[in-house]
Amino acid sequence: MSSAAPTRFTAAEYLALEKASTTKHELVDGAILAMAGARPPHNILAANVTMAVGQLARARGCVTMTSDQRVHVPATGLYTYPDVTVACGERRYDDGDPPSLLDPTILVEVTSDSTEDFDRGKKFLHYQALRELREYILVSHRARRIDHYHRVDQGEWHLTTRAGEAERVELPSLGGADALRAPSGVPSTVPPSTATVRSVPLRTTASLPSSVGVPPPVARGSRDGGSANDWLVSSFAP
């Protein structure tokens, strides 16, 4: 006896559900994933990143949006809510209600125990299909560490990992200004003053596996609070 085929939802079905729902969902390869509320440490990190990047974005005529802004990747069908979104230049939206942004310049995700693998793997594959996306930033919830991907052309990304007391992240899309800084006294998974840079070939969306059913709700920021989670508090460059 053959097993039932996994349920796959269309974009129209997802958008109808999202409009009627009081909670947010993602659409990933035809699967609808409920997004559970984040814990305070995750919210603190995301809020401080928003403030820090927002100051630089305003100076360049760009706008910064919180995790309530949905982003759509037409080439792969992904609908998602990044923790922080920056858009420069003319902004394009779809005709959804509410509308989804189609051309972000910078996307930021704060990791959690339940989402880290997805943020670093399949989600980044989806994001690479956004031709206007120039930078992707992963802020670790585990330790004082930021992974910064910068697109140098349509076929290559450079990854810079920053960790340590004095390390800062430069955002070329915002004029190369220093944006994020880690304070002293917080454990790090990488020795102080260490930065690694390497080229990351563009991985095509053809490598994305198909969805298997509808996964259970995703619990963003499920890790309990702690000093490592709070390392971005009051630690931004002026």
CB 87 within 8 A of CB 104: yes
Residue 15: pLDDT band with limits 50, 70, 90: very high
pLDDT, tens only, 156-170: 999 999 886 666 888
Three-class DSSP category at 35: strand
Task: Tokens for 98, please give them.
Answer: 């509410």
pLDDT digits (tens, 9 = 90+) for 69-122: 999 999 999 999 999 999 999 999 999 889 999 999 999 999 999 899 999 999
Which pLDDT belongs to residue 134?
Answer: 96
Q: For residue range 161-196, what is the model confidence (pLDDT) as tens digits? A: 988 666 688 899 998 766 666 433 334 444 433 344
Domain borders along the chain are 11-230
Which residues, in sequence order, are CB contacts of 94 under 8 Å at separation 6+?
Answer: 72, 74, 100, 102
How many whole angstroms separate alpha carbon 81 and alpha carbon 110? 12
- Tokens matching residue 95: 């005709």
Topology annotation, domain 11-230: tt1808, chain A (3.90.1570)
What SS3 state is found at 77?
coil
